[in-house]
Chains A and B, each alone.
Chain A
Amino acid sequence: MSRPEEDLLNDLPDPFAEALARPLPAPPAAAALPPAKTRDAVGRLRLAALLAAISYEGLLLAITGLRSDLGAAPRAALALLVVSPLIAGGLALYAASRTSSGASVPARVAGWTALAASIFAAGAVIAEGSGHAGHAASVWPCVLMTLLLGAGPLALGLFAFRGAFATGAPARSAALGVACGALAASTLALECAGGGFTHLLVGHGAGMLAGGLAGLALSRSQRA
């Protein structure tokens, strides 16, 4: 837009100047305001949700049992399979909860989430062969298990972040779902002895995809 056009637009009269000059209506009465958590209370709620999510993972792991080759599996590969989803989940959670200005929220969240997914995939590539490759059908029990492991953290996460996203709620809710799926993938590495790349990516990573989609679908409740 050229300079004269800019000047012209800057000189446009405000059609609501007079209405805006009137005094503001009275603010909502303090007694009428519903209870609202302070920042500290929200922090405590989110921490409690995180601890509850970890407990949920532990409970399911106790029910299903640890992988049979836990003692024999290569330590480095096993650690990578546990830690890389946690790093991915941490990045996705950071993308979901960060408030800042200066960039498009969906683009920024998508960037961080893509990085998280890449780290998970890289972990799967490096750790490939750490367990038995198995056949394609062995993917489906793991898909179901990762969905089950991700469901609890997702419910807790959505509760802890309810009404918290002023802008970019769909992208942020999806990132929150990805983070919950990543936690499930990390837990699953302690339960499943499958080690093929496809198995790790599809069977263990399905929770991240499903969590992202579920977060997206439920994003209305997360919007401030």
Chain B
Amino acid sequence: MPALTGLAYGWECALARRWPGTAMADDAKAPTRAPRAAVADPGPREYAALNDAMDRYARGEAAAFSVLYERLGPRLRGFLMRVSGNPATADDLLQESFLRIHRARGAFSAGAPVVPWALSIARNVYRDHLRRKKLRDPAIAPRYEDDDDSPEERLPSTAGHPEELAVAREAADIVRRALAALPVSQREAFVLLRFEHLSVEEAAEVLGTTATAVKLRKFRAAEAIREALAKRSEEAG
């Protein structure tokens, strides 16, 4: 894909000039870096602790619920926020997701990975939310719910120079808009792979599709986001 690579390189350079928080920028010269995902990829120990907590909860140990909520909550909330585009909606859906996890705990197989299972339930909750919205008003197509929240609440802040802060926020806002413009299936795949750090196989399990379909969805989503960023950098000169 030389053409795409060249295009990407071009806009990346432009981006680096405009936004110090990108890969091409010199970190020493540009200390302001747009924050990465709030939930970093958890290590094997974290996964083991989660699996153990879910196993205890499935066996009826009520105290394990708080451990699960504490460890699993940020991941489910991150997924729900990025796919729905609205922090308040994400918090509501998070509560619903944990209610369903609670109801389905007895069906959770011993030794199965918890994170894809819980993300599948969160995805079901989000899909049901979209369906309910569509039933209430069929004219409304499924989309981001970003009109009733202040953008300042979502966008990253930095402690640096006000101009750098504005630039970082602009970059994040472009990413948010690009995510908003994506079809739900592509957005889900992109969020699971890029922000939730799932493997392609795990994402396929969550989305109930094949690994090839997940790769294709992520590729299309990435293309759309890259084009949005390139367009913006061209407009900015």
Interface residues of A (CB under 8 A from B): 1-2, 4-5, 7-22, 24-25, 27-28, 30, 33-34, 36-42, 98-107, 161, 163-168, 171, 223-224
Contact = CB atoms under 8 A, between A and B. Distances in A.
Interface string B77-104: 1100110000100010011001111111
A13 B59 contact: no
Given A15-B155, A224-B121, A224-B124, A20 B39 contact: yes
A12 B58 contact: no
Given A11-B22, A14-B37, A42 B175 contact: no
Given A15-B173, A20-B78, A36-B105, A27 B225 contact: no
Interface of B: 1, 4-5, 8-9, 12, 21-23, 34-39, 58-60, 62, 65-66, 69-70, 73-74, 77-78, 81-82, 87, 91, 94-95, 98-110, 112-113, 116-118, 120-121, 124, 153-157, 168, 171-173, 175-176, 179, 194-195, 201-202, 204-211, 219, 222, 225-226
A12 B225 contact: yes
Contacts of B108: 39, 99
Given A2-B4, A19-B153, A20-B81, A8 B226 contact: yes
B202 A101 contact: yes
Given A10-B194, A19-B87, A39 B105 contact: yes
Given A16-B78, A18-B155, A167 B208 contact: yes
Contact of A38 (B105, B219, B225): B105
Given A39-B59, A107-B210, A224-B120, A167 B205 contact: yes
